Amino acid sequence: MAEPLKKTPAEARYTLEEQIGFKLRLANQKHLEIFNRQMPDITPTQFAVLAKLRDEICISQNHLGRLVGMDAATTKGVVDRLRKKGLVQSAPSKTDMRRLEISLTDAGVSLTAEAVVTAQQISAETVNNLTPREVDRLLALLEKL
């Protein structure tokens, strides 16, 4: 019979449920469940692209990806799916033919206006057990990470 592995004191004290990654994953799961229930027609990454395009009006696909924290391949896939839904359009850049400029269609502008209101409700429901001061502190701490 094999001898049990000996644990160092640090390993012995490790409790999964007390780890930041575990807690962040659970919080993210809660947020995604709320998001999917309230906004079932688009994904959180699709919403991020739409919301950023609402702010930026027209932007290169590459820059858009950087602003929403996605790599180039993911950004292309999200933009392609939103284009198929008729929510975004792309055109070659007037200044650099290697670039694609992405913007919202009229349908995208309309859907995004509604989605932003819903997203505010999703955020509020996600943090409904926190006081306003706790929400501010949580956001500040997450920003530091």
CA distances from 39 to 35, 48, 90, 114 (A): 6, 13, 24, 10
Pairing of strands 100-104, 88-92: antiparallel
Q: Write down the residue that tokens 């701490």 correspond to.
A: 141
pLDDT band at residue 95 under the 50/70/90 scheme: confident
CA distance 60 to 54: 14
Domains and CATH numbers, the chain: 42-144 (1.10.10.10)
CB 123 within 8 A of CB 34: no
Long-range contacts of 66-70 (CB under 8 A, 24+ apart): 70/45
- Residue 99's pLDDT is 86
| 27-65 pLDDT, tens digit each | 999 999 999 999 999 999 999 999 999 999 899 999 999
- Going through the chain in order, the beta strands assigned E by DSSP cover 58-60, 88-92, 100-104
Tokens for 109, please give them: 């502008």
Of residues 70 and 95, more confidently modeled: 70
- Residue 88's pLDDT is 97
| 76-86 pLDDT, tens digit each | 999 999 999 99
- Residue 46's pLDDT is 97
| 115-141 pLDDT, tens digit each | 999 999 999 999 999 999 999 999 999
CB 98 within 8 A of CB 61: no
- Residue 13's pLDDT is 80
3 state DSSP class of 35? helix
- Residue 11's pLDDT is 63
CA distances from 135 to 17, 77, 142 (A): 22, 33, 10
Tokens for 89, please give them: 């359009």
CB 41 within 8 A of CB 115: no
| 2-32 pLDDT, tens digit each | 666 676 666 668 899 999 999 999 999 999 9
